[in-house]
Structure 1
């Protein structure tokens, strides 16, 4: 298998993230490019990934029923919004 690059869409689990990977392909009948999204569960050992991070995944042996990818590196961190605190 090869490395894939995607966006973290969920990090609610311990040491696991869900990564959405987009791909474009040319539709032969409609003669247009179509975007498809696949979601992969990946192992994040140190819980460093946040929602919106762009990450690179490496394939690995099956770590659980659905998890067979490992986060290799975080390519771009997401900007985290911190709401302003109002002082009376």
Structure 2
């Protein structure tokens, strides 16, 4: 089964590509502090997306040097 992640579109000016921001929150095992980790993914984009859209991206075989995710649907 391929990984699927929910994120927010940040940038769509590249051809057929969207930059998606994924925010993950987790609690430190010792100190119990809640930490926020942000990561950007380049995803193949066949849909008409605008910055701010919530999307689901799925893992794929490498499409280009940095693209390894594909936009599945807009939420």
Fold-level match, TM-score > 0.5?
yes
Moved more, 21-30 or 52-61: 21-30
Q: Over aligned residues, Cα RMSD in angstroms?
A: 1.1
Structure 1 or 2, whichever has the larger Rg, is: 1
TM-score norm. by structure 2 comes to 0.91
CA deviations over 1:29-73 (Å, ceiling 9, x no partner)? 432111111100000024x11100000001111000000100000
TM-score norm. by structure 1 comes to 0.79
Structure 1 residue ranges without an equivalent (≥5): 76-88
Q: C-alpha separation between the residues in 1 aligned to 2:60 and 2:30?
A: 36
Helix, strand or coil at the partner of 2:71: strand
